[in-house]
């Protein structure tokens, strides 16, 4: 097997490189980042596939961010993700023997969906407002992939992970997802001896988190299995409120002030717990609990800032 990872410099891509490099069934592992091939550019994307001719393509390239970035850079989130996905999928058309693992997100599911969320609820309702541009780009990739599969015969597996976190994430004030965002901001609050710390929104939303190494492990498992499912949820099966998550991060970071709420910031969807039973029944389970994952992530942050 010759595997090509695009988006190899991101949270998922870096972790995938580490895990897949230990898979003996993979004869060649190729990583491509923006400086190797610009996926916004169709010719560069086409040339990348022509040059590498992988048997498996893993699309881990995306413009990603947390609730604030998704909601304020709406134009960039839809356009950039659409360009990456349309260029890659169109460039893949001549290679019908190639298997494509396309990474999406749990935000593709409707805002009023029943939890735990089953794969079958895709496209059954309206999207959640704060990340609808990103979700629409990811849904479009699924639709294009389905068309290509049907017309040209490619095997395309769309993987929908829950909220990911871990080493190599983006740690910033405004652009991060909640875990790296809280780690970054609380660490600074500790250094500045701030007496209180504002978490965004009400703290009531429930989220499910998956350590990125577990996602890489799930993809490694799927590469070795002969899976026929076209859409697969990947989650940890455990959910926590944002307030309780903030208390855990407070402990890990060692911040001693009070946690208060910033009602000017959005909550997003109230609850987002994936039903990962299809994948679990195939034989895969995550192995990193939230406490261990948070400790590892904070350690990585401290070692790399
Ligand atoms: O992880 P997150 O940014 O995005 O936020 P989503 C999760 C929850 O944490 C929201 C709250 O209710 C936020 O208001 N929160 C509290 C914070 N404090 C903070 C903070 O300091 N930073 C951040 N970022 N949040 C994402 C989508 O939705 O889900 C992405 O925006 C992606 O596109 C991902 O699909 C899976 O979980 O709401």
Q: Does pLDDT of 224 surpass 90?
A: yes
pLDDT, residue 107, reads 97
Q: What is the pTM of this model?
A: 0.97
- What number is the average pLDDT over the span 211-229? 96
% of the chain surpassing 70 pLDDT? 100
Provide residues with CB under 6 Å of ligand 1: 66-68, 70, 105-107, 131, 134, 163, 176-178, 181-182, 185, 199-201, 205, 207, 242, 265-268
What mean pLDDT do residues 217-226 have?
Answer: 96
CATH class for the region spanning 2-168+210-237+274-287: alpha beta
* Averaged pLDDT for residues 299-304: 98
Mutate to test the pocket of ligand 1, among 204, 260, 268, 273 (most ligand atoms within 8 A of CB): 268
Domain ranges in the chain are: 2-168+210-237+274-287
**pLDDT for the residue numbered 226:** 87
pLDDT tens for each residue of 25-75: 999 999 999 999 999 999 999 999 999 999 999 999 999 999 999 999 999
Average pLDDT of the chain, as a whole number: 98
Residue 280 has pLDDT above 90, yes or no: yes
- CA of 201 from ligand 1 middle (Å) equals 10
Q: How far apart, in whole angstroms, are the C-alpha atoms of residue 224 and residue 221?
A: 5
pLDDT single digits (tens) 113-172 = 999 999 999 999 999 999 999 999 999 999 999 999 999 999 999 999 999 999 999 999
């Amino acid at each position: 097997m010759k595997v090509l990872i695009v988006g190899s410099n991101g949270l998922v891509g870096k972790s995938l490189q580490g895990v897949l490099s230990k898979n003996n069934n993979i004869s060649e592992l190729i990583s491509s980042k923006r400086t190797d091939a610009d996926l916004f550019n169709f010719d560069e994307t086409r040339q990348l596939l022509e040059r590498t001719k992988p048997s498996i393509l893993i699309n881990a390239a995306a413009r990603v961010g947390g609730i604030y970035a998704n909601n304020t850079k709406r134009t960039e989130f839809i356009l950039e993700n659409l360009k990456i996905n349309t260029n890659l999928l169109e460039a893949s058309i001549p290679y019908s023997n190639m298997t494509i693992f396309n990474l999406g997100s749990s935000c593709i599911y409707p805002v009023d969906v029943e939890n735990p969320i089953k794969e079958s609820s895709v496209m059954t309702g309206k999207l959640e407002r704060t990340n609808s541009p990103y979700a629409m780009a990811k849904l479009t990739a699924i639709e294009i992939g389905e068309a290509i599969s049907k017309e040209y015969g490619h095997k395309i597996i769309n993987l929908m992970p829950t909220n990911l976190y871990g080493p190599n994430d983006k740690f910033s004030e405004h652009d991060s997802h909640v875990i790296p965002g809280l780690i970054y901001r609380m660490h600074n609050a500790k250094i500045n001896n701030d007496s209180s710390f504002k978490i965004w929104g009400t703290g009531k939303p429930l989220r499910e988190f998956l350590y990125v190494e577990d996602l890489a492990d799930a993809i490694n498992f799927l590469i070795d299995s002969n899976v026929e499912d076209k859409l697969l949820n990947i989650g940890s099966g455990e959910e926590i409120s944002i307030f309780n998550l903030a208390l855990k991060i407070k402990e890990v970071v060692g911040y001693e002030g009070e946690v208060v709420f910033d009602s000017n910031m959005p909550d997003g969807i109230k609850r987002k717990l994936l039903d990962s039973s299809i994948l679990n029944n195939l034989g895969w389970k995550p192995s990193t609990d939230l406490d261990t994952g948070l400790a590892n992530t904070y350690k990585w942050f401290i070692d790399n800032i």
